[in-house]
Structure 1
Amino acid sequence: MDTTIDLSLAHRPDLSDRRVVIVGGTGSVGEGVVRAWLAAGAEAIVPSRTQGRVDQFTGVLGEAATDKLHFVVGDYTSFDAAQELAEQIEAECGPVTDVVASIGGWWMGKNLWEISQAEWDRYFVGLTTAHVAQVRAWIPRLPEHGSYQLILGGSATQPVPGSSIINMEQAALLMMRQVLSAEAGDQRRVTAAVLGPVKTRLRHWVESEWVSADEVGLLTTGVAADPTASATDYELSTTAQMIAQLRGLGVYPQEGGEAK
């Protein structure tokens, strides 16, 4: 069984008719998502809360930052702010077909019974509110052929002692995906990628079996291009799992062959 991924062999879908909003796109995992959608020909819009972050991220992308990449500076973490930003994006860029929500944060260090109100508010209330704000702002706007994709961590399903708030927050978001799919039915496509540790530009130490940010990005383009990809939680803790999912979506060659 293959255990390494050669992205030069990827069969990237043609998403030149798509316009995606990548929330959290300037993050270390979001960076790979942005690169993948631009490589697929899509128009990518990345919200950011500061211009400084935009300038830094543009430098990181280098030549990958094509004229199809747009930034919108503003808050998106509250219900009202997310609605206003969605209206601004539609007014400036046009209708959006897809959303990838890669909003994250990490916290670790205490038992659940030792956490403070401030820690709870920041890492559970704050992060879940930001996600729900995107759902409220974008789900009603997306076309049926579009997709709403959540990027989550393995802490959604695996308990991590000392990181109880993040465990609970990620588990809540995983259930949010399931509820959204049940409520939307055939009218909206909602999926989640549940990741283990991810190889990113900022990690100084990685394991060979970890998936990479660029592979996560390729997966999101494959989900967008496959109209049957819906109401699914993609478990992606290892490269072997990633290969299986990419092959299932037709964006990576079958073993000993070509992409379907």
Structure 2
Amino acid sequence: MRSRIKVDKPFLVITIILIVAGFFIFSSASLGLLAKESSNYSSVAFSQTVLGLFLGTIAMILAARLDYKIWKKWAFYLLILAVILNIIVLIPDIGFEHGGARRWLRVGELSLQPAEVLKFAFIIYFAAWAAGVKEKISTFSMGLLPLMTLLGLCGILLLLQPDTDNYMVIVATGMGMFIAAALLAPVIRYSKALSLSVPEVSSAPVLVRVFRNLPISRSRWAILSLPWPEKSSASWVRFCLSRYSPFLPCEGSKSPAIWKIGSVDWWLLELL
């Protein structure tokens, strides 16, 4: 009789919470569009819920049954595939452009965002690298330098799209993985690992300054002061949600409750 698969219960609970919360957020933001353009938008909403929830759950179950060492074996090839996809999306007439960004590839009726593949590939590859070098992760040549090289590669690919939100996620994830790997290595002293994390922490203000000086990021910071969003590439998500979501404020809205909820969502959305 086969033994049951061990499941990381806290991780599973967090995943379920994120799935449920994301489903309701997507549904609430889609109500206005569904009412105005039911014939066009219903198919999009259906594909997002069915493919995202149903097929995603099946993929999660199948992935849980795989030996994690397989990911280490294919990590490099997965990274190469992600890089190629993010190069292809930059090619005119191939990458789909919308709202001032070229981030999608069309596959029939479906669309693929290569940045999502890159995020997954980055995590798998750097985890495989950290597992391979073990305690050498605390050295500059085997730890910080490879990380910065990977982040630089991801930055070139994503900022050309431009996709600052996904790049910020990758940077934060890479820093967290590096610090965790260094601190958890059994032969590394805490002080030595902490000293290596200092360059990363001290570089955070530099990264923020770089992001704020990018044209797309600078325009997004600027529209935060507007009483309501304009229809532009920088405020595309904010504009759409403010017009179609019943939970975000629109021009002329006077409800304090709606403004309180909407202002928080606006601040979060404008950082994306």
Q: Which has more strand, going by share of residues?
A: 1
| Greater RCO (Cα-Cα under 8 Å, separation 6 or more) | 1
**TM over 0.5, yes or no?**
no
TM-score, normalised by the number of residues in structure 2 = 0.34
TM-score, normalised by the number of residues in structure 1 = 0.35
